[in-house]
């Protein structure tokens, strides 16, 4: 992936993180998905007094993407946590990314800020995905 694209996604995820609704955990997360045709959708975590009704940032972004008619992801950036312990996507979100990933080679970018980010492939962080 081009560095310019990586930085664009990290920035979009950081901006989305500012919208996080996280009064219970106070853990703010943002995500930005890049579709195969170059469109970016962002999302934040949205918590609920009934904790299980919480939606992660990654799924907010992906559900926005799908509801706008796009179904192929070529990269996703997640912004959250600290440089030492960035916000890796949870297991449920990995499964949801996998549903819409163009391939196992797509980039999953984990960032705590614009200077501190790491790239992984989806296969690296989510091997042997469940598929029907
Ligand atoms: N969270 C995300 O938004 N994405 C993840 O992949 C992990 C967890 C959110 C959910 C909850 O609002 C907060 O982080 C603490 O778990």
Closest ligand 1 atom to residue 93 Cα is 6
Q: Which residue do the tokens 């992660």 mark?
A: 56
Residue 98 CB partners (closer than 8 Å, separation 6+): 122, 126, 129, 130, 131
Pocket of ligand 1 (CB under 6 A): 22, 25, 27, 29, 45, 47, 54, 56-58, 87, 89-90, 93
Confidence of residue 71 (pLDDT cuts 50, 70, 90): very high
DSSP letter (8 states) at residue 13: H
Q: Which of 20, 26, 77, 80 to mutate to test the pocket of ligand 1 (most atoms within 8 A of CB)?
A: 80
Cα(128)–Cα(126) distance, rounded to whole angstroms? 7
Q: What would the mean pLDDT of 19-29 be, rounded to a whole number?
A: 98
- Separation of CA 25 and ligand 1 centre (Å): 9
Kindly report the pTM of this predicted structure: 0.97
- Separation of CA 107 and ligand 1 centre (Å): 19
Count CB neighbours of 69 within 10 A: 8
Q: What would the mean pLDDT of 39-47 be, rounded to a whole number?
A: 98
Q: In the prediction, which pLDDT does 107 show?
A: 98
Q: In the prediction, which pLDDT does 32 show?
A: 98
Share of residues in the chain with pLDDT > 70 (%): 100
**Bridge partner list, 55:** 46
């Amino acid at each position: 992936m081009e560095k310019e694209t990586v930085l664009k996604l990290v920035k979009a995820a950081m901006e989305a993180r500012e919208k996080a609704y996280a009064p219970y955990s106070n853990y703010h997360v943002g995500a930005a998905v890049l579709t195969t045709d170059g469109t970016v959708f962002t999302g934040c975590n949205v918590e609920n007094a009934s904790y299980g009704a919480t939606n992660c940032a990654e799924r907010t972004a992906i559900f926005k993407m799908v509801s706008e008619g796009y179904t192929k992801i070529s990269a996703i950036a997640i912004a959250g946590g600290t440089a030492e312990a960035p916000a890796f996507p949870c297991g449920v979100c990995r499964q949801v990314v996998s549903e819409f990933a163009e391939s196992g080679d797509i980039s999953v970018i984990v960032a705590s800020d614009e200077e501190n980010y790491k790239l992984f492939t989806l296969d690296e962080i989510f091997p042997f995905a469940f598929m029907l």
